[in-house]
Every structure is written in C-alpha cells, then in structure tokens.
C-alpha cells in the first residue's frame, strides 16, 4: 500500500512487493501442509 500511494500506482515496486508477499504466503502454506502430512504419517 505504501508504494501505491507514493508512486501513484505507476511504479513496479508495488507489483514486486505484492509478488513477494504472495510468494511468502504460498511458501508458508506449503511448509504447513508438509508438516501436517509428516505428523499424520508418524502417528
């Protein structure tokens, strides 16, 4: 949101920061799924 206001929506920094946030969220989700699968297999 900061770059959207500062650049008035014309910069690529907003797209890059959103992409990084989405990528980190997906990575966290995948890690949580793998951990849950390992927990199920070990019990």
Determine phi and psi for 8, rounding to 5 degrees: 60, 35
High-pLDDT (> 70) share of the chain, %:
74
pTM for the model stands at 0.66
pLDDT of residue 11: 67
For the chain, the domain total comes to: 1
Distance from the first to the final alpha carbon of the chain: 44
Query: Per-block average pLDDT, block size 10, for the chain (43 residues)?
Result: 63 82 97 94 81
Domain ranges, residue 12: 2-42
């Amino acid at each position: 949101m900061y770059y959207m206001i500062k650049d008035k929506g014309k910069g690529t920094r907003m797209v890059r920061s959103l992409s990084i946030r989405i990528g980190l969220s997906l990575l966290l989700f995948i890690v949580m799924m793998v951990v849950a699968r390992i927990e199920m297999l070990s019990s």
